[in-house]
């Protein structure tokens, strides 16, 4: 059985990763286990490495680390356990905002590669630039599925945001853009699991893979990592 672990900075990244994995896996026999690594002294941070079954070919663990700073830290902390459990790849997904600015991205990318443990499983990082919400924003077909009155013309007219033409990877705070857009229909983007799930249900994964990924190198890299994982 092949095993992949994805560590995300939050719930949105975890749920979007799950959908992306499901889309990429297609008809393969796979299983996904999700964990939240929130916790503290009296509520330990537990990341279980397990929950396997013999009848599946691919196993994917998706861990919500709770905060951007914990993604790399959790991966380093769990690397030897993941290695013993036979994981072949670890992907860390986190936003750039608010820690670094757009013109500092190269420094973050370089920094993320430093201090990683040697040996398998190999580790790579995917950055939501500036936030993973930019990918959701760019998958503009979902807005009208989510609410029939949310179309790109209205968004352009009322918010001055041209989703099709603008380089959305340069938007500093795309989560706020999403919030403003949904608020046009008095929908509060509170990042609750229910709302995020509803938004992601409206996302067209094929559009995300074929079109949106052309505009975001990191999203393309995520698909390529997943496709490689499921390729044999």
Q: Which residues form the interface with another protein (CB under 8 A)?
A: 39-43, 67-73, 76, 92, 94, 99-100, 104, 107-108, 110-112, 114-115, 125
Q: Which is nearer to another protein, 43 or 165 (CB)?
A: 43
Distances in Å between the alpha carbon of 49 and those of 12, 61, 62, 104?
21, 8, 10, 34
CB of 43 to another protein, least distance (A): 6
**Measured from the CB atom, is 93 or 150 closer to another protein?**
93
Smallest gap from Cβ 84 to another protein, in A, equals 22
Query: What is the Cα–Cα distance from 118 to 100, expressed in whole angstroms?
Result: 26
Helix (H) or strand (E) segment spanning residue 105: helix 105-113
Sign of CA dihedral 61, 63, 68, 70: negative
Q: Indicate the residue among 73 and 206 with the shorter CB distance to another protein.
A: 73
| Six-digit token string for 81 | 């356990």
Shortest Å, Cβ 67 to another protein: 7
Q: What is the nearest approach in angstroms of another protein to the Cβ of residue 74? A: 9
Q: How far apart are CA 220 and CA 145, in angstroms?
A: 24
Closest CA to 227 of 23, 7, 61, 86: 23
Closer residue to another protein in complex, CB, 108/202? 108
How near is the Cβ of 162 to another protein at its closest, in Å? Answer: 31
Residue 39 or 214: which CB sits closer to another protein? 39
Phi/psi of residue 227, nearest 5 degrees: -65, -40
């Amino acid at each position: 059985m092949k095993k992949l672990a994805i560590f995300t900075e939050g719930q949105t990244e975890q749920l979007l990763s799950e959908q992306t994995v499901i889309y990429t896996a297609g008809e393969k026999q796979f299983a996904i286990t999700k964990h939240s690594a929130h916790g503290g002294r009296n509520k330990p941070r537990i990341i279980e490495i397990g929950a396997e079954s013999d009848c599946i070919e691919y196993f994917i663990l998706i861990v919500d680390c709770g905060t951007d700073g914990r993604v790399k830290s959790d991966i380093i902390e769990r690397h030897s356990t993941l290695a013993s459990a036979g994981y072949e790849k670890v992907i860390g997904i986190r936003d750039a905002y608010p820690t670094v600015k757009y013109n500092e991205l190269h420094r973050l990318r370089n920094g993320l590669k430093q201090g990683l443990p040697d040996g398998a499983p190999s580790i790579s990082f995917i950055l939501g630039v500036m936030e993973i919400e930019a990918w959701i924003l760019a998958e503009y077909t979902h807005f009208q599925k989510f609410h029939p009155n949310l179309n790109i013309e209205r968004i352009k007219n009322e918010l001055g945001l041209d989703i099709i033409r603008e380089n959305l990877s340069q938007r500093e705070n795309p989560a706020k853009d999403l919030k403003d857009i949904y608020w046009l229909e008095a929908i509060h983007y509170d990042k609750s699991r229910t709302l995020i799930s509803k938004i992601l249900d409206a996302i067209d994964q094929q559009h995300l893979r074929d079109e949106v990924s052309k505009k975001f190198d990191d999203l393309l890299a995520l698909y390529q990592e997943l496709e490689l994982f499921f390729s044999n």
